[in-house]
Structure 1
Amino acid sequence: MHMRLNTQTLPKHKNRWIAIASVAVVAILFFILGLSLQRFHNHSQQELVVMVENGQKASVQLPDGSRVRLNSASALRYSPDFGKKNRTVKLEGEAYFEVQSNPDNPFIVLTRDHLQVKAVGTKFNIKAYPNDDQITGTLIEGRLEVSNSLLSEVLDPNERISFHTRGLTFSKSRVDNVNEAIFWMTDQFVFDKETLGNIAKMLERMYNVTISFESPDIKEIQYSGKIKNNSMENVLNLITVVSPLQYTMTESHITFSKKTE
C-alpha cells in the first residue's frame, strides 16, 4: 500500500529559523538533563548524619557491622556508600567505637584539626568537642594509628593519646583503668585534676544547661575523683561540698560563686 503525502515547500529564511530553533531546543534539553543529572549525583553523595542533642545519647550500627555509641552534643557523618570503597566517618564530639575487622579496608575516623584515627578491628574512645583544648583517643582493645600533618603515633591497648590544639603537640600516656574513658556510657564522671571550667562544659552537654561564673578564677579550681551523676543536683552538691563555692539555679542556668561567710 502506498500513501501519498502532500508536502509544502517553506521559504528558505523560514527553514533557517526552524533549524536555529531546533538547535536551541536541543541545547536547552541537554542543559536541563545535565542539571537534573548533576542534582541527582549531588543528592546521592550527600552525607548521612547522626546528631545527638545535649542531654541525650545514641547508638548506631554502621553498614559494615561496626557499632558506635555517641555521647551528648555529638555528630557522626558518613557517606551512603560507606564500606564499599572505604570506611571513613567524621566525628564531632565524643564516641565509643567497636570496629569490625577488615585488614583490606581500614576504619578511619576524621576529627577537627585534621586529626585521623585509623583502626583495623578494635575498641576505642575518641573525644573531640569543638570548644575543648584537646582531642583525646583511648585504646581499649586492638591497635590504633593516630596522625595528622605534624606526626604519627601508634597506640597499644591501655594507652591514651592527647592532641593539644593550642600548642599543636601530642602526648601519649599509659592508663591504669582504661574503662574510665567510657564511664560516660554508664553516667559517671571521672576527674583527674580537671578544672571547673572543663567540668562545666561536660555538665552543659550532659544536662542541657548553661553555666557561668561570678569571677574568672573560679573556673581554674581543680577537682579529682569519681562521681555517679544520678542527678544534676547530686553533682552540683558534691562540687560545692569539697570547695569554697556555692551555686544558684534559675530555670536552666547555673551560676557558681564563692561562698559568703
Structure 2
Amino acid sequence: MTVADLIKFIERKGDAQFDQEVISWVNATPDNLALYSKTKAKHVIDTLDSISESTSTAENYADFVKKRKTRKKSFRYFLKIASILIVPFLLSTYIYFNFKEATPESAKIVYSSSVKEQKTVTLEDGTVIWLNAESKIVLDDNYNSKERRLKLYGEAFFDVVKNKNKPFIVETASGIRVKVLGTSFNIKSYSSEKSVETTLVTGKVELYNQKEDKALITLSPKQKATFSKKENELAVTQVNIENNIAWKSGQLIFDKTPLDEFALNIERWFDIKVVMKSDNFKGYSFSGKIEKTNSIQDIIKVLEVSSNLNCIYTENDKTLLIQSK
C-alpha cells in the first residue's frame, strides 16, 4: 500500500472495495497502522498549511508565543501543533471504533450490486463471480486460508478455481449450503422469493442444510435444485442452462414463470414497483424474453400481447399497474 493510496483513502476518493482493501491493510500490522497515522497527521497539517499563511509551523508557533496575537489566531495555531501530537492517537481510536468489523475476529469483505446493476468480482484465488441486480456476497478476510467460504444474498453465478485442498462453500440465508472444489454454477437466493435455486453448469456441487454435515444431494451438469422455503423441500430437475444464466448476458428468459415471480425480476432489473390489482393474477404464468435494453413500454407490450392483461405505467412514481382488460 503506497502513501498515495492512503491519501486517496483519507480524502475518500476511492470506491467501497478500495476502502475495504485499505482498512484491511491498516489493521494487518502495527507498522501499517503507524504509517497510516503518520500519513494522516501530515495530511492534516498540509491541509491546514494550504489555507494559512505561507510560513512554517515552527515560525508561526514561535511568533504565537512571542507576540501573543489574538485569541482566534492563537487557538488556530494551538490546534495545528496539538494535531501533530494527538492525531495518531485519535486515528487509532477512530479506526478501532469505526472499522472494528474489520478486526481479525469479525473482518468482513462485502461486494454488492444495486438495483438495475450487474457486477463482476474476481476473488484473490482467481474465482470470478457475477452478481445479478440487488445482490451481495460477504466473506471474511481470512478467505482462502483453510477454506473458501462466503455468504450470498440475491443471485450470483460462480466460476470457481479448482483447489482440492480448499473447498469453496456458499451459504444462503435460507440455510442451504453449496460446496464445490472447482466448477461453475448459479445460485438464486433472494429473501423476497419463495425458493432457493442452484443450477449446475460444469463440474459437481453438493448441497447441505444448515444443521447437517451430510450432503442432501449431489448435482450433475444441467440440473437445478429448487429448495422450497415454506415446505422445506428439495426438488431436482433437468433444465436449459442458457435460460437460467441468460441474465449474465443482459437477458431474462421466462418459461411458465408465475406472474408474481416475474414481477420481482422486473422490479430488480428496471428499478420500478409492480402492483398487481388482483390476487387472481398470481395464478398467471409468463413465457418470453426480456432484454436489459428494453423500455418499460416494451415490457408492457409483451405482457399485453401474451395475456389478457392491461398495464399502466406511471412515470412519476415509477409504478407499473397490472390489471385485467
Please identify which structure carries the higher strand content: 1
1:137 to 176, 184, 198: 198
Count of paired positions: 224
Task: Give aligned-pair identity as a percent.
Answer: 29
**Farther-moved stretch of structure 1 (189-198 vs 219-228):** 219-228
1:167 is the counterpart of 2:237 = no
Q: Provide the C-alpha distance between the structure 2 equivalents of 1:120 and 1:72, rounded to a whole number of angstroms.
A: 26
DSSP 3-state at the match of 1:241: helix
**What is the deviation of 1:38?**
8.3
Q: Provide the C-alpha distance between the structure 2 equivalents of 1:110 and 1:236, rounded to a whole number of angstroms.
A: 36
2:221 to 137, 157, 172: 157
- 1:215 aligned residue: 278
1:186 is the counterpart of 2:252 = no
Q: Provide the C-alpha distance between the structure 2 equivalents of 1:88 and 1:183, rounded to a whole number of angstroms.
A: 26
**Farther-moved stretch of structure 1 (234-243 vs 70-79):** 234-243
Query: Structure 1 residues 258, 42: closer, same or farther in 2, change over 3 A?
Result: closer
Question: Which structure would you say has the larger RCO, counting Cα contacts within 8 Å and 6 or more residues apart?
Answer: 1
1:55 is the counterpart of 2:116 = yes
1:114 is the counterpart of 2:175 = yes
5+ long unaligned stretches in structure 2? 1-92
Rg (Cα) greater in structure: 1
Q: Provide the C-alpha distance between the structure 2 equivalents of 1:239 and 1:198, rounded to a whole number of angstroms.
A: 14
1:184-212 deviation per Cα after TM superposition (whole angstroms, max 9, x unaligned)? 11122222221111100000000011110
Normalising by structure 2, what TM-score? 0.65
**What is the deviation of 1:43?**
3.0
Contact 1:229 1:235 in 2 (8 A): no
DSSP 3-state at the match of 1:113: coil
1:79-124 deviation per Cα after TM superposition (whole angstroms, max 9, x unaligned)? 1121013200100000000000001110000001211000101000
**What is the deviation of 1:137?**
0.4
2:302 to 238, 241, 245: 238
1:8-65 deviation per Cα after TM superposition (whole angstroms, max 9, x unaligned)? xxxxxxxxxxxxxxxxxxxxxxxxxxx9998687532321111211111111001111
**Farther-moved stretch of structure 1 (184-193 vs 82-91):** 184-193
DSSP 3-state at the match of 2:227: strand
**What is the deviation of 1:236?**
2.1
Normalising by structure 1, what TM-score? 0.81
DSSP 3-state at the match of 1:234: helix
Q: Provide the C-alpha distance between the structure 1 equivalents of 2:94 and 2:136, rounded to a whole number of angstroms.
A: 30
Q: Provide the C-alpha distance between the structure 2 equivalents of 1:42 and 1:128, rounded to a whole number of angstroms.
A: 25
Q: Provide the C-alpha distance between the structure 1 equivalents of 2:95 and 2:133, rounded to a whole number of angstroms.
A: 38
